[in-house]
Chain A
């Protein structure tokens, strides 16, 4: 276990997840849903919040059970916990947000294999106390949601001329169908990660 004094505080953990260590933009984790569900802002927000919920519950249980985790069984325990909560999310969406559940299709069950969740269980929750683990889950979850939101905003505005289904572009705007397809996802992703790195470097230069 890490030295208590070197362990980051809950607040640092929370802030880290949002931008400095953003799972998508900095750590490049969870790229499958990032590319797949960012064609619409609504889908991206739902996916981000669903993942945040699973991450929160998974970090909660992993942190509670960390004393009992056998090294060779730990991945199995992570998977049981994650799969349970993903299934709960899936059932909830089917019952209460049926249209969204149809739009997201297989990507909700696929949260099980989202590496952000297992990475946080392994790197943070299984080594930290409860509160920092929960703060970490919220920060990472919001960071993930934020990254999806940025990508989806760019893609939806260019592909449909709308944001969250509200028309935002001028009349006669030519929609870019490619932004709805896989290449649009890759292009936007690369540009957003690049822009994030550029801004970071500029900020660091200014600091030094």
Chain B
């Protein structure tokens, strides 16, 4: 037994010393990491909800009581007095072509239409699937067209030709699976989240 401890003493001491060192560094850096994540989400929200990027004093608060999703209430208060509701944003995850895709999905103030999406995380193929990050090629398709936001009443459908109906979304060339993955994440979650928002609000 003594011999055993003697032999492993170095490993034991190193584990304790390095472990404590890591704990100290973690305590120092982790709050910064959390701030970074929150800033990234806020930046993403500003890009997703119309009017949020130009809003003065943009604020978000997490909606409590919604199961399975992180939902943000997005509002601003231009003259510090009245709050103006801009919309809702929530985080949803699903399977893509290369791995999980994490989306930020924006809903309008009435929570009955889609106003935009942003990709928070993806590992799609560069040059094909990762064009889901591209504003012109992909994300713009989910923004309001001619002032009309995409209604949640109908599921979105991915097609390969030029869309004729508002609920049709043209796939990215060479990346049908990634395109379908994004749309199905929206279809699977938007109705459910919107219903819960209306209930909570």
Contacts and interface: CB of A to CB of B under 8 A. Distances in A.
Contacts of A70: 7, 10
B10 A95 contact: no
B126 A94 contact: no
Contacts of B127: 177-178, 180-181
A123 B125 CA distance: 38
Nearest to A175: B127
B7 A92 contact: no
Interface stretch (B22-30, B51-59, B79-87, B189-197): B22-30
B25 A88 contact: yes
A177 B175 CA distance: 14
B21 interface: yes
Chain A's interface size range is 20 to 34
- Interface SS of chain A: helix
Contacts of B15: 80
B21 A80 contact: no
Nearest to B19: A84
Interface in B3-36: 7-8, 10-11, 14-15, 18, 21-22, 25-26, 28-30, 32-33, 36
A70 B128 CA distance: 51
Nearest to B14: A80
B10 A77 contact: yes
Chain B's interface size range is 20 to 34
Contact of A180 (B36, B37, B40, B126): B126
Nearest to B7: A70
Given A88-B22, A95-B28, 19 more contacts: A68-B10, A70-B7, A73-B7, A73-B10, A76-B11, A77-B11, A88-B21, A88-B25, A91-B29, A91-B30, A91-B33, A92-B25, A94-B32, A96-B29, A98-B40, A105-B123, A177-B126, A178-B127, A180-B126
15 contacts: A77-B14, A80-B11, A80-B18, A81-B18, A91-B25, A94-B33, A94-B36, A95-B32, A95-B36, A96-B29, A105-B123, A177-B127, A178-B127, A180-B126, A181-B127
A84 B18 contact: yes
A65 B11 CA distance: 11
A92 B11 contact: no
Given A177-B126, A180-B126, A95 B22 contact: no
Nearest to A70: B7
Contacts of B10: 65, 68-70, 73, 77
Contacts of A91: 25-26, 29-30, 33
Interface of B: 7-8, 10-11, 14-15, 18, 21-22, 25-26, 28-30, 32-33, 36-37, 40, 121, 123, 125-128
B14 A81 contact: yes
A39 interface: yes
Given A70-B10, A73-B7, A84 B33 contact: no
A162 interface: no
A84 B26 CA distance: 12
Contacts of A92: 25, 29
A87 to B, nearest CB: 6
B118 to A, nearest CB: 14
Contact of B22 (A77, A87, A98): A87
A65 B14 CA distance: 10
Given A70-B7, A80-B11, A88-B22, A94 B29 contact: yes
A79 to B, nearest CB: 10
A73 B14 contact: no
Given A70-B7, A80-B15, A181 B29 contact: no
Nearest to B36: A98
Contacts of B29: 91-92, 94-96
